[in-house]
Structure 1
Amino acid sequence: MGIEEQQAAIDAEHGDPEGLPVMRARFEHNGSPRYMLYTMKRLGLDHEHGFHLDFELVSDELEGGVETVEAKLQDGDADLIDIDYISTARERAEGAPIVAFHPYGRTVGGLVAHEDSDIDSLADLRGKDVGVVRRLDKNWILVRAACREAHGFDPDEAATPVEAGSKVELTRLLHDGEVDAVLQFWPIIPEITERGPYEEVLPMSRLVQTLSGTENKLPISTFLTSEEYLAEHGDAARAFADAYRATVDRLVEDDEPWEVVGERLMSYDDPAIVRAVRDGWREMVVRDWDAETLDGMDQLFGSLHAIGGTDALGVDHIPDGMFRLLDE
């Protein structure tokens, strides 16, 4: 389903701000946060918690080397986006006044290959062409780190990463046989594997847990806002966090919202795919965080940097002030 059709469904739920503080959310048209944000709007949980969510979808392409949503936030055209925290660290270290103020989830992907492929594990990536959205994508960094630690080679050198530039193009590369495997994002994998003939060789969430050294579910992706917005509208940010938790509770406990999401935001006509996305989302999402969570995220970053180095992560540390716990 295209951006226009999805946006029409979202716009039908927008309503009037009614004098409430506005938070402009700009999210990718094929990213999983749209399921949660649409549900928040449909159930009126933004107004119930004291703010108005202005929700628009954007493409997943790159603008000037950064994802469209990042460009929107940095250019002052958005107040709320989500990206992985490694990218956040990279952009903040380069001077972007962005802040991660609440977790979203373990938004990693999986290694997907044809069912007849000889790729059965990361060890089989030597000499292969592997499709990635971009070489600084978190999935590729995880694979590089895991291969260095467990298999003694760096796939950035022993394999050939092929940058697709978008998730849609990444799927096309796989379908057209232009690559041997892809590192696709988790919400798209059910459609690929259910319709076949492809299989998920390895979920990246397994690498996250292995490299972090903890059993706690760590959020890879977080919600971001600008330093300016957080300073001027801290109450709205806290209201979003409350509405988010309430929305997560509904999506985890109730199947009805997923039926609506499947009908209005997904292009799948196969209930099995919708259920697979629903179950994957429930496994992925992180409802809240605390200081212990941040320690685990710091440990994962350290593990990735120790193995992949600054060249893989694009940054050598998590900048001070990047994470904000709103209840402090």
Structure 2
Amino acid sequence: MDIDTQQAALDDHHDDPGDLPVMRARFEHNGSPRYLLYTIKRFGFDRDHGFHLDVELVSDELEDGLETVEAKLHEGDADLIDIDYISTARERVGGAPIVAFHPYGRTVGGLVVHEDSAIEGLTDLRDCRVGVVRRLDKNWILTRAACREYHDFDPEDEAISVEAGSKVELTRMLRDGEVDAALQFWQIVPEIVETGPYREALPMADLVQRLSGADETLPISTFLTSEDYLAESPDAVEGFKRAYADAVERLQTDDDLWAELGERMMYEDDPAVVRGIRDGWREMVVADWDGEKVAAMERLFDHLLEVAGKDALGVDHIPEDMFRLEVTPTQ
């Protein structure tokens, strides 16, 4: 299913915003937030909470070193995106007036290999060609940190990292044998392994929990907006948080909705793939956050910085006021 078909499914639920404040959401066509966004539009949760969510799907390629959604926010063409909080820190330190106002989830990926591969885990990566979307991707950062922390080597030095530039290209490289393993994003892993002949050697979620020392699911990706939009449209931002809660509750309990998502919003509507994505989404999503959870996120960042270093992360601290746990509506 191509990007235009998915956009058409969303457009079926795009009505006239009228006098409601508009929030322009720009998300990757193969990113997992599109399931949440479709649910919000499908059931009118945005209108229920006093705003109009305008959803547009975009490519997952890089523009001047940024993911397309990041570029959209930087250029003033979006009010809502999601990226990992390490990238958010990197961009904010670089001067971008962006803030993280709500968690999304533990959106990490998996190490995928051919079913006949000898690679079983991190220790087998030495001298291998490892495909990554980009070297500053959270999956590669986690891999480097875990290898240095637990196995006394850095795969950036002892393996060959191959930068694909997009998720689509990374899958192609794996299937064409140009890499020995791929650190692919979680929602694409079921599409690869269920259609074979591939397997997931290691889920990155295991590394998040081990490195963080946290028992609860930590959000790695968050929803972002600009400082200006937050100041000008706090009611819309608060409305999104409430619509998000409604959509998460629906997605956690409604299996029929996932079947509909498979038909309208997925590249593979094989029932096994849909179930894999559904179960993975339910496991990784984070409904809300508080100061304790943000503190755990900051501890994970500090640990990654300690074991992987600034060069791996691209930033050496999380700026103050990057996380906005509270939104003050005008009403």
**Which category describes the TM-score, using the shorter chain as reference length?**
over 0.9
Q: State the partner residue of 2:74.
A: 74
Residues 204-243 of structure 1: pairs in structure 2 closer than 5 A: 204-243=204-243
1:38 equivalent in alignment to 2:38: yes
C-alpha separation in 1, matches of 2:257 and 2:20? 25
Q: State the partner residue of 1:154.
A: 154
Runs of 5+ consecutive residues of structure 1 not aligned to the other structure:
none
C-alpha separation in 2, matches of 1:201 and 1:176? 18
Report the TM-score, using the length of structure 1 for normalisation: 0.99
**Which amino acid letter does the alignment assign opposite residue 271 of structure 1?**
P
Q: State the partner residue of 1:55.
A: 55
**Which amino acid letter does the alignment assign opposite residue 209 of structure 1?**
Q
Runs of 5+ consecutive residues of structure 2 not aligned to the other structure:
none
1:125 equivalent in alignment to 2:125: yes
Using the TM superposition, give the Cα deviation of residue 134 of structure 1 relative to its aligned residue in structure 2, in angstroms.
Answer: 0.4
Q: Do the aligned residues in 1 keep the contact of 2:237 with 2:327 (CA within 8 Å)?
A: no
SS of 1:187 mapped into structure 2: helix
1:27-56 deviation line (CA, Å, top 9, x unaligned): 000000000001100100000011100000
SS of 1:195 mapped into structure 2: coil
**Which amino acid letter does the alignment assign opposite residue 264 of structure 1?**
R
Q: State the partner residue of 1:108.
A: 108
Using the TM superposition, give the Cα deviation of residue 259 of structure 1 relative to its aligned residue in structure 2, in angstroms.
Answer: 1.4
C-alpha separation in 1, matches of 2:270 and 2:6? 18
Q: State the partner residue of 1:24.
A: 24
Q: State the partner residue of 1:195.
A: 195
1:265-313 deviation line (CA, Å, top 9, x unaligned): 1121311111111011000100100000100000000110000110000
Residues 276-291 of structure 1: pairs in structure 2 closer than 5 A: 276-291=276-291
**Which amino acid letter does the alignment assign opposite residue 233 of structure 1?**
S
* Residues matched between the structures, number: 328
The answer to which of 139-148 and 269-278 deviates more is 269-278
Q: State the partner residue of 2:299.
A: 299
Q: State the partner residue of 1:171.
A: 171
1:246 equivalent in alignment to 2:246: yes
Using the TM superposition, give the Cα deviation of residue 93 of structure 1 relative to its aligned residue in structure 2, in angstroms.
Answer: 0.3
C-alpha separation in 2, matches of 1:81 and 1:257? 23
SS of 1:124 mapped into structure 2: helix
SS of 1:196 mapped into structure 2: coil
Identity of aligned residues (%): 70
Using the TM superposition, give the Cα deviation of residue 321 of structure 1 relative to its aligned residue in structure 2, in angstroms.
Answer: 0.9
SS of 2:194 mapped into structure 1: helix
Report the TM-score, using the length of structure 2 for normalisation: 0.98
The answer to which of 277-286 and 255-264 deviates more is 255-264
C-alpha separation in 1, matches of 2:7 and 2:121? 39
C-alpha separation in 2, matches of 1:224 and 1:236? 13
